[in-house]
């Protein structure tokens, strides 16, 4: 059996097992990546130094640490309470709370964002004597939407930056044009209009929340310093520099050190922060980098790109729409991280073949694969957590209860983002 066929079999098995046994995805990707190494499809040295994107992993871990400390500080809850109290009525309070959730998720991991805002959502629903189901669903899908907007918002954005060689600043402006941030925000603003109509009937009562006082603003300051540092690195060095990962890890270490010296009672509390980090995703990323990196190394990426080119034809707009909305549909049911890793080089080849700006297809892939997770309750981790919180409170959410909110939200936000992408990059 040739290495190409063997790698293809391992790739399909990896995908199938991730879909069926998603709870064990980190173990499965490591198992299949080690299988490729043991059978000689890739060497251990090449996997370790060439296929694993350590820059992405360092950025992810550093931002996770700061996100945990930011939540500990209770500053996000303070801001959320303030927004709710300043809203004219309960409907606007819910919409603004969803928007605020999205803003937090630009810099904080989506699951953590949902956990921060969920208690306030339950409190609002009790005061209004309404079901918290639509509120929690809206919060979850809002967090998924805006996590795509910046380099540090979500793993797919980090992976995209690594492949395309984008710096932190390039997510705002690239080659003199507005970039991913503005495309995502256009979709976010359109989704706010949808949420306004969804909650417009709650317009007769103003919610009053007792504002939570933050324990400290130091994590917020560190978060700002991290973002400013990434911006400065972008000016100094073009592209996805390893300095970005080192910077994020350094600020994360400073945060842990600050917590240990000034806030924790003992070393155990600081160690607990490190234990709470999403190590499952870190291990998953390592494994999937090796599996899909090997898939590319043996030439299967080119084969798949040629196959897709036959299917989509040579019309740039048609290609963009197919990539965007196919990615959206698939990501409602499969993990978008391995999908986007394998599709980035394929999309690049398609753009070169069609002689179009690769950023047009890149934006379609990123927006579609990240926003598509909002269609179903299993499409994103934040959705799963939100459904778990509702179940804990005695609310069982049926699959189509989620879809009837998530699908219109996704179609509207993706559609508007797609239009803006075409206007910018065509």
**Do 373 and 144 form a contact (C-beta atoms < 8 A)?**
yes
Model-level pTM greater than 0.85? Answer: yes
- How do residues 145-194 score in pLDDT, each as one tens digit? 888 899 988 889 999 999 999 999 999 998 889 999 999 999 999 999 99
| CB atoms closer than 10 angstroms to residue 269 | 12
C-alpha to C-alpha distance for 376 and 383, rounded to whole angstroms? 8
Task: Take residue 305 and report the two structure tokens written for it.
Answer: 């790109």
The owner of tokens 């199938």 is 16
Look at the alpha carbons of 6, 305, 28, 329 in this order and tell me if their dihedral is positive or negative.
Answer: negative
Beta bridge partners of residue 173, listed in sequence order: 178
Task: Take residue 169 and report the two structure tokens written for it.
Answer: 């600043």
C-alpha to C-alpha distance for 340 and 346, rounded to whole angstroms? 10
Domain map (residue ranges) of the chain: 1-73+215-298, 105-210+299-426
- How do residues 183-203 score in pLDDT, each as one tens digit? 999 999 999 999 999 998 877
- How do residues 366-388 score in pLDDT, each as one tens digit? 999 988 889 988 888 888 889 88
Share of the chain above pLDDT 70, in %: 98
C-alpha to C-alpha distance for 358 and 28, rounded to whole angstroms? 32
Taking CA atoms, 20 is separated from 15, 17, 24, 253, 365, in Å, by 9, 5, 9, 36, 24
* Spatial CA neighbour of 204 closest among 90, 127, 84: 90
What string of pLDDT tens digits covers the 426 residues of the chain?
688 999 999 999 998 998 888 889 899 999 999 999 999 999 999 999 999 999 999 999 999 999 899 989 988 888 888 888 888 888 888 898 899 999 988 888 788 888 888 888 888 888 778 889 999 999 999 988 888 899 988 889 999 999 999 999 999 998 889 999 999 999 999 999 999 999 988 776 666 667 778 899 999 999 999 999 999 999 888 888 899 999 999 999 999 999 999 998 788 888 999 998 889 989 999 999 999 999 999 888 888 888 888 888 788 898 999 999 999 998 888 878 888 999 999 999 999 988 899 999 999 999 999 888 899 888 888 888 898 889 888 888 888 899 999 999 999 999 999 999 999 998
Residue 272 has, within 13 A of its CA and on its CB side, a CA count of 10
């Amino acid at each position: 059996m040739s290495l190409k066929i063997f790698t293809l079999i391992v790739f399909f098995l990896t995908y199938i097992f991730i879909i069926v046994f998603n709870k064990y995805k980190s173990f499965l990707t490591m198992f299949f990546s080690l299988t490729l190494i043991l059978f000689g499809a890739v060497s251990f040295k090449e996997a370790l130094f060439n296929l694993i994107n350590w820059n992405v992993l360092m950025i992810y871990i550093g931002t996770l640490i700061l996100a945990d400390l930011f939540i500990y500080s209770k500053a996000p809850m303070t801001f959320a309470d303030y927004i709710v109290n300043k809203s004219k009525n309960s409907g606007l309070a819910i919409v603004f709370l969803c928007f605020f959730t999205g803003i937090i998720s630009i810099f904080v991991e989506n699951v953590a964002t949902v956990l921060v805002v969920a208690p306030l959502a339950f409190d609002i629903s009790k005061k209004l004597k309404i079901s918290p189901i639509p509120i929690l669903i809206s919060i979850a899908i809002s967090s998924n939407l805006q996590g795509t907007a910046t380099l540090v918002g979500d793993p797919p954005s980090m992976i995209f930056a690594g492949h395309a060689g984008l710096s932190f600043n390039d997510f705002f402006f690239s080659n003199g044009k507005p970039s991913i941030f503005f495309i995502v925000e256009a979709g976010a603003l359109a989704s706010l209009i949808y949420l306004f109509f969804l909650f417009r009937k709650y317009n007769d009562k103003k919610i009053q929340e007792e504002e939570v006082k933050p324990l400290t603003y130091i994590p917020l300051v560190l978060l700002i310093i991290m973002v400013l540092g990434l911006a400065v690195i972008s000016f100094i060095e073009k592209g996805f520099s390893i300095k970005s990962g080192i910077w994020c890890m350094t600020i994360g270490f400073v945060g842990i050190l600050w917590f240990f010296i000034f806030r924790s009672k003992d070393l155990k509390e600081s160690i607990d922060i490190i234990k709470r980090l999403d190590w499952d995703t870190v291990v998953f990323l390592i494994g999937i980098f090796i599996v899909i990196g090997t898939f590319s190394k043996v030439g299967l990426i080119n084969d798949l790109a040629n196959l897709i080119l036959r299917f989509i034809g040579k019309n740039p707009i048609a290609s963009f729409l197919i990539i965007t909305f196919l990615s959206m549909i698939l990501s409602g049911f499969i993990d978008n991280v391995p999908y986007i890793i394998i599709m980035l080089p394929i999309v690049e080849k398609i753009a070169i073949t069609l002689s179009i700006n690769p950023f047009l297809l890149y934006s379609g892939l990123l927006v579609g694969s990240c926003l598509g997770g909002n269609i179903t309750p299993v499409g994103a981790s934040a959705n799963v957590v939100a459904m778990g919180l509702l179940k804990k409170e005695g609310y069982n959410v049926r699959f189509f209860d989620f879809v009837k909110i998530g699908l219109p939200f996704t179609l509207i936000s993706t559609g508007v983002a797609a239009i803006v992408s075409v206007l910018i990059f065509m």
